[in-house]
Structure 1
Amino acid sequence: MIAGCFNFSQPNTPSSSSYCSQTQSQVPQNVVTCTYQTQLCNSPTYLTLSWSKTLFSHSLTISATDIFSITISLNSSTFFFRTRHGSKTIHHRKLKLHWNFTRAEFIQNSAEPESRFYLAISHKGKLQFFLGDLFHVFSPHHHQQDCPETVLLSRREHVFGSRSYVSRAVFMGTKHVIEIECSGGILGVKVDGEMRLVVKRLAWKFRGYEKIFIDGVEVEFYWDVLSWVANSENGNGHGVFVFQVGDGTVWPEMVGAEKKLMKKSVSGSSVLQWAEESSECGRTSSSSSTRSCGSNATGFSLLLYAWRA
């Protein structure tokens, strides 16, 4: 049995007068990375949005492979971004980025806004990508009639807690609250407050796969807590959990704060590799075609890294 799945000490706990100079690197980084399938410059593209928040900073990095990568500060404590709205032109591509986070609402200190915001990308004046619930605010000023469809392919999030880790996901168009509980060597998965799966004896079942149903939709669930089991005494490592709906998995390359965060565990790369390979188990070779930007997305993947806060 695992001696308390989460009974490990908090990494980098300040214990000296050097607290002020080290605190920024010690506080948990809430990082959410989402990958969308869209059209940019008349070509199908993977667009990656990485939201990052700590006690001292809040930012959004928007990147499209071989096209651009831009970071926007969302820290309302600074004078320049007090209104948290604006635009930026990417001259060599004739792209323009528009955003408004003035009244954005966030849930439980999440780095990603829940409502009252918009993020848009236009090419030669034509709207290519739109995210948020304020299209009625954006469209009159930019002469846009239609809001393009936004297809979310994958979401990767770093969650923090002691015994409970909570995230939100959209499966087949419906929002759900996902909660993972771990205590005394027992793993539990709740969806909207209802227990859907219980795994006992994690010391022997540290890696596995099960199917669960959410509103009649089959969801493949993978877990890997080998890092917890192997480091139960010194408290290093993290758990990883994958929820897969339909075909196709897209894990974009880690950037910025997320990449730094993963360096805390030497097993980070192997865990991610396992998640990628396991999500294709039992599927036909043709299902992997959704990795191509030119194909139509037919699935969604949620990847959670669980850290002790």
Structure 2
Amino acid sequence: MKDFPSCFGENAVQVADSSSSNSNCTKTAQNLVICVYQCLIRGKSCLISITWSKSLMGQGLSVGVDDSSNQCICKVDIKPWVFSKRRGSKSLQAYSCKVDVFWDLSSAKFGVGPEPLEGFYVCVVVDRQMIMLLGDLKKEAYKKTNAIPLASNAVFVAKKEHVFGKRLFGNKAVFCDNGQVHDLVIECDTSSVSDPCLVIRIDTKTVMQIKRLKWKFRGNCTILVDGFAVEVYWDVYNWLYGNGASLGNAVFMFRTCLSEHKLWVSQPVSDENMLQSFSQRFSETKLKGLGFSLMLHAWKNE
């Protein structure tokens, strides 16, 4: 399932395989957050992918650049650190020009996940122009790089991450670039009830409720968030019919459409290739600029 830029290689792709039975490898792979930004480099559309990782060795970071055909142009891989490599830079080549990647996480504060909360910056500079800038230390980033701000910055188009819980799966979520941060809660009790129900709440408001889940373990519907039409896809088959060490994760995708006419024709999604379908729609979002996609892998704690 190649639903993310090719710079991440096959190891990153395997994170999306919910049928994996190797629990140790799966738990390691779960500690990833991938953010994708669309931007222009010398007038050519490209995707910049930021992968945050977490392991026993510490925090890790990868920055990759893909072209419009989803082919990797260049990549810098900052391996997990404990006391080193928290600040630095690296020069790459893309579109016959120099691409400089700068990062400073020496004062970064982290939560339970691999993505920093504050006290950091990661930026990409091309021809002394700031193509992309993440983090709250913006003044420090401009001082370090001597870069010129661009009128049009990189656009946040996709995110993939993992959430954990027994019945409730909570997460902070946005549904468009520079959008409002919402409290997203997915609720599903598959262990103590005979007829499970799937409920999704945004800012405590119920926006979706699916009953008779054993018959509707895969599907899609449309909700409204911040005035946008958001298509919600779910696949909870593994929650209902997995067992023991092979119990996999459920997959949810929230895709914001820029306008109503760009919504897919309403069709029930119930085939076994749900994850491949997610992948295709996710790629469409990134490459065609149709909106924003948030993909969540939800794991039930033992």
Q: Which interval holds the TM-score relative to the shorter structure?
A: 0.7 to 0.9
- 1:160 paired residue number: 164
- 1:188 paired residue number: 199
- 1:47 paired residue number: 48
Contact 1:158 1:307 in 2 (8 A): yes
Name which of structure 1's ranges 200-209 and 147-156 shifts more when overlaid on structure 2: 147-156
Say which of 229, 237, 250 aligns to 1:239.
250
Contact 1:39 1:129 in 2 (8 A): no
- 2:79 paired residue number: 73
Say which of 98, 104, 127 aligns to 1:100.
104
- 1:299 paired residue number: 291
Say which of 231, 241, 252 aligns to 1:220.
231
- 2:3 paired residue number: none
Where in structure 2 are there 5+ consecutive unaligned residues?
Answer: 1-20, 67-71, 264-271
Q: Tell me, what secondary structure is at the counterpart of 2:275?
A: helix
Where in structure 1 are there 5+ consecutive unaligned residues?
Answer: 1-10, 14-22, 250-268, 281-287
Counterpart of 1:114, as a letter, is L
CA distance, structure 2, for counterparts of residue 279 and residue 51 of structure 1: 19
Q: 1:47 Cα shift? A: 1.2
> Normalising by structure 1, what TM-score?
0.72
- 1:85 paired residue number: 87
Alignment of 1:249-268 (within 5 A): none
Q: Tell me, what secondary structure is at the counterpart of 2:229?
A: strand
Greater relative CO, 1 or 2 (CA 8 Å, sep 6+): 1
Counterpart of 1:72, as a letter, is I
Contact 2:63 2:77 in 1 (8 A): yes
RMSD over aligned Cα atoms: 2.9
Q: 1:154 Cα shift? A: 1.0
Contact 2:98 2:127 in 1 (8 A): yes
Q: 1:206 Cα shift? A: 0.4
- 2:184 paired residue number: 178
**For the structure 1 residues 74 and 300, does the alpha-carbon distance in structure 2 shift closer, same or farther, using more than 3 Å as the test?**
same
- 1:132 paired residue number: 135
**For the structure 1 residues 229 and 277, does the alpha-carbon distance in structure 2 shift closer, same or farther, using more than 3 Å as the test?**
farther
Q: 1:276 Cα shift? A: 3.9
User: For 1:71-116, what per-residue CA distance to the aligned partner results, in whole angstroms no more than 9, with x for missing partners?
Assistant: 11353x23x23xx111112267422110111222333x11112222
Counterpart of 1:135, as a letter, is K
CA distance, structure 2, for counterparts of residue 26 and residue 278 of structure 1: 26
Counterpart of 1:307, as a letter, is W
Q: Tell me, what secondary structure is at the counterpart of 2:149?
A: coil
Q: Tell me, what secondary structure is at the counterpart of 2:248?
A: coil
> Normalising by structure 2, what TM-score?
0.73
- 1:255 paired residue number: none
Say which of 119, 122, 126 aligns to 1:116.
119
- Number of aligned residues: 255
- 2:266 paired residue number: none
Q: Tell me, what secondary structure is at the counterpart of 1:67?
A: strand
CA distance, structure 2, for counterparts of residue 99 and residue 161 of structure 1: 32
Q: Tell me, what secondary structure is at the counterpart of 2:139?
A: helix
CA distance, structure 2, for counterparts of residue 165 and residue 132 of structure 1: 26
Alignment of 1:192-207 (within 5 A): 192-207=203-218
Counterpart of 1:196, as a letter, is V
CA distance, structure 1, for counterparts of residue 233 and residue 123 of structure 2: 34
- 1:3 paired residue number: none
CA distance, structure 1, for counterparts of residue 276 and residue 290 of structure 2: 22
